[in-house]
Structure 1
Amino acid sequence: MKRNFQEALENRRSYYRLWDKSPVSDNKIVEMLRTVIRHVPSAFNSQSTRMVLLLGDHHRRLWDIVKTELRKIVSPEAIKGTERKIDNGFRSGYGTVLFYEDRTTVARLQHENPLYSNRFPNWAQQTSGMHQLAVWTMLEDMGFGASLQHYNPIIDSAVRKEWNISGAWELIAQMPFGSPAEDMLNKTFIPENERVVTFGCL
């Protein structure tokens, strides 16, 4: 469905139970990601964000890697609940988007703009956040459910090796998505007037 931007933001939620079904073609998903990567802004037009789309067996392999890496650091008792969460939620979905930032681009901008050198890593994180929100919202508008996960840096090395991803790319987040297997969750909100301060408004 097509919503305006405000409606799309209002309907975005975290979905932790997903089905391996898609309301659109894979080409539509790729087209959406290319639209985001082209049009979402970045500091100094750095265009430092990179995204990796994993579907089918590649998607499931990612979450198998997550479980494998977690077993190395989590007790056998504690890992059982985590594995159920992964298997019944993230791995059971249709795909995953991996969000990266290209550290080579960030380093180049630091060198070219020494006055702002210490700010570029923060700006790269902000750029990644904008891409994450854009993808999340557009997936929602396509009929998917999604959530944002952060198993990095635990999985960084294994993921890089599995898909031959550049060592210059820093993994920021993982976004599993699929058809929602649960109703849209209600959200609680801190009052807006405690979070937005205005001056000069009529």
Structure 2
Amino acid sequence: MDLEHGSKKPSAPAAATTPTCSKLLQLRDRLVTLQPVLLRAAAALATVVAAAVMALNTQSYTVVVAIVGTRPLMQTFTAKFRDTPAFVYFVIANAIAGAYNLLVLLMKRLILRRRTASLVVHMLDMVIMALLATGAATAASMAELGKNGNLHARWNPMCDKFGSFCSRGGIAIVSSFIGVALMLALNLLSAASNAHRPSVVGQ
């Protein structure tokens, strides 16, 4: 009867909590939307830093090789990333990954409008992650060889003479592995979002 005469009032707590819940849901949606952007931006930064540090990595080492009379004969040895094919591949892989992620960030709005474009980006993300992982792994194997050498093959370590070169190379490799981890997280997040997204005919 109260409902028929309009005498029953809606409960105050329900009316008060509805706007709050709506704001919380909007905040959650914004955070979920920002997650891929933040992950991709961080991956782009990590890979660009790795490529730049390794590409600019060089060090010279001067040693006395002979003494002619009273005059020492000096020879300078220079370590560069170009001397090792694994480091060259490392720089190329990280440069490609950084440029790709920056391009995707610039085209984010266009990609989000179409499901097909989103799936293509997801597949390219997996390719880039594999490229980064192989580049970081090959560079890490060469770095270990340069640091410890190989007694069985009689290859002497070089980091005792080129300490700065090895330190900067280690920083680049760590940054690249961070990029690999971020790309893995981005792939997992993208796979989860594509799995829960309803398919629309004509997209």
- Scaled by the length of structure 2, the TM-score of the pair is 0.24
Tell me which protein shows more strand as a share of its residues: 1
Tell me which protein shows more helix as a share of its residues: 2
